[in-house]
Amino acid sequence: MTASFTQRRKEFSQRTQRILTTSLRLCVMAAVGLTTLHPQDVTFKSNTRLVIVDLTARDKSGKPVTTLKKEDVQIFEDGVKQDIAIFELQKLEGEALAPMSFATRTTETAEEKAAAPAKAVVAPAANQAIRYQDKRLMCLFFDMTSMQPPEQVRAQDAAIKFLQTQMTASDLVEIMTYTTKLNTVQEWTDNRDNLIAAIKKLTLGEGSDLADLADTAADEGDDSGSFAADETEFNIFNTDRKLSALEDAARKLGVLPEKKALIYFSSGIGKTGVENQSQIKATTNAAAKANVSFYPVDARGLVALAPGGDASKASPRGTGILTGSKQQGLRNSFNDSQETLATLAADTGGKAMLDTNDLTMGIRQAQEDMRSYYIVGYYSKNDAEDGKYRRIEVKMTGKDLAAKLDFRKGYYAAKVWAKFNASDKERQLEEALTLGDPVNDLPLALEVDYFRVARDRYFVPISVKIPGSAVGLKKNGARQTADLDFIGQVRDASGKLIGGVRDLITVKLDENAASKIGQRHLQYDAGLTLSPGTYDLRFLARENASGRMGTFETKFTIPDLGRGAAVRLSSVIWSNQKESVAGAVGTAGASRKLLASSPLVQGEQKIVPSITRVFRKDQTMYVYFEVYDPSLDPDRKLPSVTAEVDLLSGSRKVYSSAAVRLNKLATTRPGVAPFAFQIPLAKLPAGQYVAQVNVIDETGRKFAFPRNEIVLLATESAAPQPRK
């Protein structure tokens, strides 16, 4: 019996050894990457996504709590408890380094380098989630395009002063600049000599003349991720370019899980009246995802505005300097430029430093705000790539622990466009229109105009332009096609939905046109009829080959032209193209009849608005506007309205069209005097102009001088825009 038991134990031991040997062999094969598995072998796959949350805990006095353990914290995603995989304390000290001499050299002789002890270089830890342990990460971002040379000098001096006298042992600094593209001129380092040398190498005056766009051309070396070589028109007049550069900077900083502060030196971000408000949301949301807080610093310092403007501006005209309206306009413009800076700071957890001559206060504010914190990481239990919002909640578990917690409240999951079916795509489009996190992967330019069609009703054409390089083509027989989805909503001041647009457009191109799509633009037109008032427009376009979407959000106002004593004018349309009504890329299906009666349609031709106001010398500029209810001569009951178009370069008039006088009204609509001009551009020098329309109601002794900026390019690289 004993022998039998011994034999069975031996056989069991041998079988166990064979199983272990086979298992070990499979493990070794998997480790070295062998793929000679038999069909019956089972392959296990796992896809996990690490979610990083920066957690700040403060006690009742506001001091950081640095004694928490992993067991003291619970983290939830959409109400589901997650398993914490990373829990690290980032302990940041506040003791300043020894001040440097203001005459500190940035170079050393060979003898000094040999005699000096080697200085440790800060490098990210390899293969670790926490790359910079116990380091405060601050990025100095110089927006050279918004600062004049004196302001660039102040920003440069403030940064050097901070590095010399106020930098601490916990600080790591990176330096970025924005001119025509985003540049990283110094990677993360605590070497003050290298940082100061990098700042001193910045070219004063670089980018400050960006407003002079006479020789503007596409920058093929642009690697910021938001500007393509054929998107010159968007780069020139897209007022969101600064915000887009900040979004790019936040995304680049997002590869690090630690908290980051971006100190943004600028002279404000101005407004033009038709801003894409979705861009600022996209910028702040990108910063929140990347754990970046913006600390804008107004490099203009404390400013006293001279009445009528300083010596850098032309002398004011009219009575505005006497009535105070000119001074009020300057103040409003200045406040608008600071409002965007304040919004960037408030929406990302930073602070804006405005109206102070000590610019180092902005850097010190970021330094003081970034106290010790915890990096918490978990692998989400929800692996669905549906692009939906995931809410994050962090709780304390210990009953005796009392701390105020600060953390990001959620994130948007990844999405796989190729796996979307038709209903998923439609749901995504509708949800994207209402999400608080606008998508701006597809560049858009948009223009809203108005024309009176009845006493209290206005036709509102909406024009959208998309760069051809952003549109993906697919082969369809002898042609190539692109599918574009458009959806938009218009709401009144109370938030009530007033009207909307929903359309799917298929663009068909032959081989020749398809080969040039990267040099062209696509333009989509829609239209609504609205009453006077202030409205919010949110418009979204999606390119269906890749699923890239772009959002444009703006406020617009339709004035009540039935009131007031001034000349009653429609929008002024500046155009470089007329097209056949049947040749439009897209007109919202429900409003085709409405668009057919558009004031922009004259016979079988339609004026296409130039949204970006960029023209070429080989084109003709078309100008169209309408005057409503001009005064009538008491005897003949006829109007007498004169108009002309001037192009100004600085204070010099470069071109003046022949004056057009109208002595009768249109027969199709009552009370309308339409004006149309054609201006050949071939003989005009390339450059930036102020285009002014002079309108005089001679009978009523009224006048108006609406203006707009245009750019005339000498290049002929861009071909006419494809419309079908």
Lowest-pLDDT choice from 184-188, 307-311, 373-377, 717-721: 717-721
pLDDT at 666: 87
User: Shortest CA distance to 178 belongs to which of 133, 213, 137, 223?
Assistant: 223
pLDDT at residue 427 greater than cutoff 60: yes
Query: Could you count the other beta carbons within 10 Å of the beta carbon of residue 23?
Result: 10
Average pLDDT rounded to a whole number, residues 559-585: 80
Q: Are 270 and 211 in contact (CB under 8 A)?
A: no
Query: What is the Cα–Cα distance from 663 to 637, expressed in whole angstroms?
Result: 10
Confidence bin at 590 (pLDDT 50/70/90): very low
pLDDT tens, position by position, 618-638: 999 999 999 999 999 888 888
Instruction: Look at residues 133, 56, 136 and name the one whose alpha carbon lies nearest to residue 96.
Output: 136
The answer on pLDDT for 226 being more than 90 is: no
For 110-157, write each residue's pLDDT tens digit. 444 444 444 444 555 544 555 688 888 999 999 988 888 889 999 999
Confidence check: pLDDT of 657 > 80: yes
The model's confidence at residue 612, banded by pLDDT at 50, 70 and 90, is confident
| DSSP codes of every residue in 512-526 | HHHHTGGG-EEEEEE
* Pairwise pLDDT comparison (519 vs 443), residue with the higher score: 443
Express each pLDDT in 37-84 by its tens digit: 344 444 444 445 788 888 888 888 888 888 888 888 999 999 999 999
b/e sequence 666-681, b meaning 16+ C-beta within 10 Å: eeebebbbbbebebeb
Give 585's DSSP letter: S
This prediction's pTM: 0.61
- pLDDT at position 17 over 60: no
How many helical (H) and strand (E) elements, i.e. helices and strands, does the chain have?
13, 35
Model pLDDT, residue 106? 39
Residue 236 exposure: Cα atoms within 13 Å on the Cβ side: 23
Structure confidence at residue 310 (pLDDT): 61
Q: Span 144-172, mean pLDDT?
A: 90
- Contact predicate 172/137, CB 8 Å: yes
Q: What is the mean pLDDT of residues 698-716?
A: 86
DSSP result, 380-431: -S----B--EEEEEEEE--TT---EEE---EEEPPB-GGG--HHHHHHHHHH
- Of 552, 538, 461, whose CA–CA distance to 495 is shortest? 538
Q: How far is CA 35 from CA 21, 29, 42, 46, 162, in A?
A: 19, 8, 12, 17, 57
Predicted confidence band of residue 188 (pLDDT cuts 50, 70, 90) = very high
Residue 337 has pLDDT above 50, yes or no: yes
